[in-house]
Amino acid sequence: MTVDIAFTAEEQAFRDEVRAFASQRVPATIREKVLTGRHLTRDEHVTWQKVLHARGWAAPAWPVEFGGPGWSAVQQHIFDEEMALAGAPRPIPFGLTMVAPVIMKFGSPAQQKRFLPRILAMDDWWCQGYSEPQSGSDLASLKTRAVRDGDHYVVNGQKTWTTLAQYADWIFCLVRTRTDGKPQAGISFLLVDMKTPGVRVHPIITLDGAHEVNEVWFEDVRVPAGNLVGEENQGWTYAKFLLGHERTNIAGIGASKRELLRLKNLARVEMRDGRPLLESPVFASRVAQVEVDLMALEVTNLRVLSAGRSSADRSRRDLGTVASILKIKGSEIQQAISELLLLAGGPYAAADVREARGQDGGGAGLVGPAHAAPLAASYFNLRKTTIYGGANEIQRNLVAHAVLGPMGG
């Protein structure tokens, strides 16, 4: 099944350039891990980002003045798709596509000069300090405090579900700097060095046996006031700006196209009742449905990109609603593909990623085909996609409010 999406000759030439680069420069060990759904190490992520940085492609969405390639939105879409299909890792988003745009738009020149080049070169690994034990979807209720003390803020509190904080050099945090008035009006955006005394990281081992998320504790952590982004008590504005970028990125169209191809290939070799699983009418219809949904998502995304090229003002105005739509459907498609992969793998899929790796880290000693081992762990891990970046239920409320207006209005 295909859909005819017309690209210009220049865009097709750009696709060929990206495809050739990816085929030559993605390390074989990294490619094999990505294409089989296995976890990468910190060093492997950093190695690949430095390869991209050397080519000038580390930050596809960055403008030229900050070291980006200055690509159009369509070029960024093509780059994401080709890299995913080639088995390149998705970039760690916290620095490149989350905090960096905030620093570009709201940060001081000194902050831009200090942080952006190191993000671009992957010299600093960033993590996100938003969610708290009682403040997830209701992020405005966060309680981590930052009290001004001379030239510093003193931070106390706790963040949770902090992805890859065990690797991070820096964390960008939403902190409460005022307790009176509307909750959203007392939040600030602070950059914290993870090596600062009083910062503690506690692992959270998830259902798939992986150490991907953490609790981060702050106990009298002294943060230079120069690490405040923008103005005090204006962090909610910056957080909403960042979440628009995060939700768009969560859609993961390129990665879903790669996983759909993986699903089809697996279903052609997995046998049920003496015939390939993909020939089962029930299974084939489910694959077809998710493929149609993915095509529709890609076309929607390209329509947004095209509208942005012709009407920048409209694109900016509608970004929040569009980002919510892309996040909802993109995350649901990721989950649907992971479920079908799990069904295709059958009883040989290992529920725990430690079992999938085996004692030597390579899956040694597993019963059944190696390609089936990581499928259950991946399925469990992807249950989170409809929650993080703003739960899908909340995103539907935001879309309804934007399109239909307030209830009863």
Q: What is the pLDDT of residue 161?
A: 94
Question: What 3-state class would DSSP assign to 137?
Answer: coil
Give the dihedral sign, CA 229/234/239/241: negative
Q: What is the pLDDT of residue 409?
A: 47
Question: What 3-state class would DSSP assign to 371?
Answer: helix
Q: What is the pLDDT of residue 377?
A: 86
Q: What is the pLDDT of residue 4?
A: 59
Whether 251-404 and 126-238 are alike in CATH topology: the answer is no
Percent helix, strand and coil across the chain, each to the nearest 5: 55, 15, 30
**What is the distance of C-alpha 221 from the center of its chain?**
28
What is the CATH number that goes with domain 251-404? 1.20.140.10
Residue whose token pair is 């490619």: 31
Told to judge if 215 belongs to the known catalytic residues of this protein, a careful annotator would answer: no
Could you tell me whether strands 199-205 and 271-272 are parallel, antiparallel, or unpaired per DSSP bridges? unpaired
Cα–Cα distance between 83 and 143 in angstroms, integer?
40
Give the dihedral sign, CA 195/198/199/200: positive
Q: Which of 81, 132, 246, 270 is catalytic?
A: 246
Enumerate the domain spans of the chain.
9-91, 126-238, 251-404
Neighbours of 96 (CB within 10 A): 24
Q: What is the pLDDT of residue 246?
A: 62
Residue whose token pair is 């628009």: 244
203: left (phi over 0), alpha (psi -120 to 50) or beta: beta
In a structure prediction context, what are the per-residue pLDDT tens digits for the chain, which is 409 residues long?
555 567 899 999 999 999 999 999 999 999 999 998 888 999 999 999 999 999 999 999 999 999 999 999 889 999 999 999 999 999 999 999 999 999 999 999 999 999 999 999 999 999 999 999 988 778 899 999 999 999 999 999 999 999 999 999 999 999 999 999 899 999 999 999 999 999 999 999 988 888 999 999 999 999 999 999 999 999 999 998 887 766 666 788 999 999 999 999 999 988 888 899 999 999 999 999 999 999 999 988 887 766 654 544 433 445 668 878 888 999 999 999 999 999 998 888 876 666 555 544 454 555 667 778 789 888 988 998 898 877 889 889 988 988 888 765 4
Task: Of 381, 389, 385, 387, give the one whose Cα is nearest residue 37.
Answer: 381
Task: Of 260, 265, 326, 309, give the one whose Cα is nearest residue 85.
Answer: 260
Do 142 and 136 meet the contact criterion of CB atoms below 8 Å apart? no
Task: Of 163, 156, 268, give the one whose Cα is nearest residue 219.
Answer: 156
DSSP string, 207-255: TTS-EEEEEEEEEEEEEEGGGEESSTT-HHHHHHHHHHHHHHHHT-HHH
Q: Could you give phi then psi for residue 345, rounded to 5 degrees?
A: -70, -30
Neighbours of 195 (CB within 10 A): 8
Cα–Cα distance between 14 and 18 in angstroms, integer?
6
Burial of 318 (0-12, 13-18, 19+ CB in 10 A): middle
Q: What is the pLDDT of residue 163?
A: 96
Q: What is the assigned CATH class of domain 126-238?
A: mainly beta
Q: What is the pLDDT of residue 316?
A: 45
Neighbours of 397 (CB within 10 A): 15
Give the angle 162-164-165 at the CA atoms, nearest 5°. Answer: 60
Cα–Cα distance between 112 and 110 in angstroms, integer?
5
